[in-house]
Structure 1
Amino acid sequence: MDNLKNFSYKSYCIVILAFALTISCKEKKVEVITDVLPNVVLLLGDDHGWDETGYNGHPFLHTPVLDEMAANGVRMDRFYSASPVCSPTRGSIITGRHPNRYGTFTPGFSIRPEEISIAEIMKDAGYVTSHLGKWHLGPVKEASPTNPRHFGFDEYLSHDNFFEMNPHLSRNGADPVVFKGESSEILIAEAIDFIQRSKEKEEPFFIVIWYGSPHEPYSAKPEDLALYDSLPEDFGNRMVRLTSNETGSQVERLQRDVLRERFAEITAMDRSIGQLRSFLEEEGVRDNTLLWYFGDNGTPQEGNATVPFRGQKALVYEGGVRVPSVLEWPERIKTPFITAMHGVSSDVFPTLCEITGQPLPNRPIDGISLLPMLEGKMDSRREPIAFWNGRPRNNGEGLVDYIDPELQKGTTPLVKLANGIPTRNFKNFHHPDIQEQDFSGARALLGNQYKLVIHDGKNGDTRKELFDINLDPAEENNILSDQPEIAGDMEKTLKNWQQSVLESLIGNDYP
């Protein structure tokens, strides 16, 4: 990692204890001496893979704003989503905990009402809070016990799932309304309005903006599509499956045509971030605003054309969990730098707790604070990052619903049909005990040098792979036979962590 040197502070800066918060279920107090808390804006791309930025060397994509953020702030080259699919990663951001702890195994599974949200923490610190865009942790309707307001957001304009142009969005749980226009720009216009109102109250703002882009099915403005009219004939020259905007069902199309639309969505999203940055500058609040962008999982199959890693969305290999991440905070980060330290979406919660001086909840937290990394005091993790594509026992058969199914029904329409309906419903289950079968599912443990990957076989056997992730980021060479002791120790660590997760799943973290 390039060290952050000559880190300068103004007299009113936050003073933080000089140790990183680690995975713990003990409450930690953090001393803060501050008159001015930073504003915080979290931005999340939907299915935006690591390679799909100009600064990471994409041969065709135009992402000038993200490129500028990478050049002017902190570029996190080894940042990960907690899951290779979206809902679980979103849960990790909200809670700082692995999503299997509260049954958000995969899309379609809600969060649990007892979880403590980062928005609640920020409210305790004096922030006004807003959620904009994709929620996907339960229905956003007013009656839902897992809507954004339940989790501490003062206001929200949100969707149960993803959305395209002219999206249906619910304001604070009301019936959804169509908002005409490009969806990324709609969210930023709402963010700007919220910021203006928070300035009148003289309160710091915390805004979570979860884009619907670039998730399929794709739609974009003509001027954005025109940027990609001349993709080479040999690029994306294969057929892929995705949702039809006309029927909501699956269709086969030439990947090059699909990529033209996907790239246009990414460019529109990038432009919207630029609109927000320009507004913050004009209002004189950009210097003390922490602006953090990353993706929620790796590139999906229909968009996989330039991924330099093994795998894609839904897999625990690097192609499924390594995502772009850039962070700006001009007041505190005076010297731009690139870090190769491993970070993960679960780190957002403890990082913001430390920045705002709030204690961690008294329950297991899987992320760590990255503030020491931002200060140039940490360049590696003390604990590995664990990934786990878990699942409910017997796919939920025989388990009791955690939330009334009526309260789990979505209301916001989208193009892609699910079981013939144009919305999304959710589920979550009580898990009464821990059985050996509950440890199954693709899983991985990522240390500072090695990554262990385990897949369950159909006949009860398992496939195990060990990679030197620094020398072999593409995960091409399985070195498990060369390092059996390291692999064995990592497998024990992973199993012990899974035990902790399952203890949470059966409800031991809740009073």
Structure 2
Amino acid sequence: MRRIGFLLILLILQLPAWAKQPLPNIILLMGDDHGWEETGYNGHPYVQTPFLDEMAASGLRLDHFYAHPTCSPTRGSVLTGRHPNRYGIFRPGYSIRPEEVTLAQRLKEAGYATAHFGKWHVGPVKATSPTNPGAMGYDHWLSHDNFFEMDPVLSLNGAPPEKYYGESSEILVDEAIDYIRAQKQSEQPFLTVIWFGSPHEPYSGLTTDLALYRDLPQKYADRQVSLTSNETGQRIKRPLRDVLIERYAEITAMDRAIGKLRHSLQTHGLKQNTLLWYCGDNGIPPSGYRESRFRGLKGKVYENGIRVPGVIEWPAGIPKPRVSTVSAVTSDILPTLCTLAGTEVPSVPLDGIDLMPLIQGKMKTRSTPIAFWNFPVSSGDAAKPYIDPELQKGTTLLAKQSAGLFTRNFRNNHHPGITEKDYRGARAILSGDYKLVIDGGQNSGVELFNLKQDVSESKNLAKANPERVQELSKQLRTWQSSVLNSLMEADYNQAGKPNSPR
């Protein structure tokens, strides 16, 4: 007996620091249209992000972190650990499907309290929506159907929207801090998701934040960019310099709100065992483009469309700062946090992997490729709606007008059947240092890049490496077939339950 007790003590002593702690609190933060280069720690010459820089200096900096080309697909991937095309979130304005099993649902089963603040954008947030945050596993939510600016209109737990006055990032963080403080009293671990509306256009900023960027070079004033007018909601053209001043002000305000959250965690004795994970939802949009070492923009499968800031701060689990160049993606968040919480992942095909070995410093290479795919949606799609269109109507106001509305409605359709054209659309697969891109741009055909040697994706190696092109093309095609099988509703039975284990 003594020997068994000694062995148990020895085993416990050998466990990593995080495993000896109570279940960690988890906070997921996401910027809206925040590109990889737009942080101080990634060397931006103008943008000031002192608190993200502190997180990167003290935690795990994910230098090769990826999202999907646009926002709704990325948010779906965080919720499910699955590529968004599996359940019909092809682009912004498409909803998730109600039977999808989410991170919040899995963590609730592990004993977590769950809350969502800010941008939702995978369905309406109203009470009657079958895809609102509550239906997807969140006990509490203060959310918006889409993006928002100063003085945002938000819905509390599905109630009619109300206006909240102030800078939007600070509003979300203040509300989240109140929630976290209440959870501390209950001694229940929490999953808190804060999805900011910044720095999505149309841009605006506090006077003090705007003043930080008044000295941007005059050369940017000569270029005109198209974006939304805060006054009319219509498209206008403005000098890039003026636009960048406002965009960078929004990033700094968001960063300051993150700093306020970190300070609150410290004040309430929660910082040590709270995992704080920040990332962007896609790359830089045309209205925010200055210069870049990367190719492409938001919406593209080239690096500037999909590589985003990624950083994890968790003193109990990451006691020393590290920088990782292992490729990781937003779909990895669910399997990683399920492992951390000691709960099983959903028993459906996943596209993300468990990054706990990476967090522990044990993962040197990624075990599976990462695939990206802009599904070829038909503008004349008359397929049967997956959800009653009335339930897909949004309620929260936003500044940008679309089809005469200052709200947004969603859609998701039953896919009529698989044809060869369904395999089309810009797509890419990233395996090790190599990235295969097919139809990434107009008349671009098949492209192969070695990102370690050519991060700008300027040298096409496809003709010189036909064997690698063939190998990656085959992997990509096989993966697409799996995704289309999911899209055809093969993963769930008529009761909405997973059909079989992974």
Q: Shorter-chain-normalised TM-score: which range?
A: over 0.9
Post-superposition CA distance 1:323-371 (Å, at most 9, x none): 0111100011111011100000000000001111111111100000111
1:47 maps onto 2:33 in alignment: yes
The aligned residue for residue 115 of structure 2 is 130
The aligned residue for residue 53 of structure 2 is 67
Deviates more, 1:131-140 or 1:35-44: 35-44
- Secondary structure in 1 matching 2:435: strand
Post-superposition CA distance 1:286-339 (Å, at most 9, x none): 000000001000000010113220001000000000001111000111110111
The aligned residue for residue 475 of structure 1 is 457
Q: CA deviation at 1:397?
A: 2.1
Q: CA deviation at 1:206?
A: 0.5
Q: CA deviation at 1:433?
A: 2.2
Distance 1:349 1:148 in 2: 16
Distance 1:35 1:278 in 2: 21
Distance 2:440 2:203 in 1: 34
1:432 maps onto 2:437 in alignment: no
Q: Are the counterparts in 2 of residues 51 and 306 from structure 1 also a CA contact under 8 Å?
A: no
The aligned residue for residue 488 of structure 2 is 506
> Root-mean-square deviation (CA), in Å?
1.8
Distance 2:128 2:86 in 1: 24
Distance 1:34 1:113 in 2: 36
Post-superposition CA distance 1:369-421 (Å, at most 9, x none): 111011111111111100000034x3352310000000000000000001011
Distance 1:364 1:58 in 2: 38
Question: Kindly tell me: are residues 96 and 159 of structure 1, through their superposed partners in 2, closer, same or farther at Cα, counting changes over 3 Å?
Answer: same
The aligned residue for residue 432 of structure 2 is 448
Post-superposition CA distance 1:439-492 (Å, at most 9, x none): 11100000111100001898xx87110000111011000010110110011001
Q: Are the counterparts in 1 of residues 21 and 273 from structure 2 also a CA contact under 8 Å?
A: no
Structure 2 length-normalised TM: 0.94
Partner residue of 1:271 out of 256, 278, 283: 256
The aligned residue for residue 406 of structure 2 is 422
Q: Are the counterparts in 1 of residues 61 and 324 from structure 2 also a CA contact under 8 Å?
A: yes
- Secondary structure in 2 matching 1:197: helix
Question: Kindly tell me: are residues 10 and 201 of structure 1, through their superposed partners in 2, closer, same or farther at Cα, counting changes over 3 Å?
Answer: farther
Q: Are the counterparts in 2 of residues 88 and 107 from structure 1 also a CA contact under 8 Å?
A: yes
Q: Are the counterparts in 2 of residues 89 and 99 from structure 1 also a CA contact under 8 Å?
A: yes
AA aligned to 2:47 is: L
Post-superposition CA distance 1:133-190 (Å, at most 9, x none): 0000000000000000000000000000000000000000000000000000000001
Distance 2:375 2:274 in 1: 36
The aligned residue for residue 26 of structure 1 is none
Distance 2:463 2:446 in 1: 10
Distance 2:160 2:201 in 1: 24
Distance 1:199 1:103 in 2: 37
The aligned residue for residue 20 of structure 1 is none
Which runs of structure 2 are paired with 1:245-324 in the superposition (5 Å)? Answer: 245-324=230-309
What runs of 5+ residues in structure 2 fail to find an aligned partner?
A: 1-9, 494-502
The aligned residue for residue 28 of structure 1 is none
Q: Are the counterparts in 2 of residues 14 and 355 from structure 1 also a CA contact under 8 Å?
A: no
Which runs of structure 2 are paired with 1:112-511 in the superposition (5 Å)? Answer: 112-235=97-220, 237-392=222-377, 394-395=378-379, 397-455=381-439, 463-511=445-493
Deviates more, 1:178-187 or 1:223-232: 223-232
Name the structure where helix makes up a greater proportion of residues.
Answer: 2
The alignment covers a number of residue pairs equal to: 484
Q: Are the counterparts in 1 of residues 220 and 239 from structure 2 also a CA contact under 8 Å?
A: no
Distance 1:130 1:498 in 2: 33
- Secondary structure in 1 matching 2:260: helix
Distance 1:236 1:75 in 2: 34
Question: Kindly tell me: are residues 457 and 220 of structure 1, through their superposed partners in 2, closer, same or farther at Cα, counting changes over 3 Å?
Answer: closer
Question: Kindly tell me: are residues 339 and 236 of structure 1, through their superposed partners in 2, closer, same or farther at Cα, counting changes over 3 Å?
Answer: farther
Distance 1:15 1:402 in 2: 45
- Secondary structure in 1 matching 2:52: helix
TM superposition outliers: structure 1 runs of 4+ over 4 Å = 9-16, 32-35
Distance 1:73 1:235 in 2: 35
Distance 1:456 1:164 in 2: 32
Q: CA deviation at 1:10?
A: 12
Question: Kindly tell me: are residues 403 and 396 of structure 1, through their superposed partners in 2, closer, same or farther at Cα, counting changes over 3 Å?
Answer: farther
Structure 1 length-normalised TM: 0.92
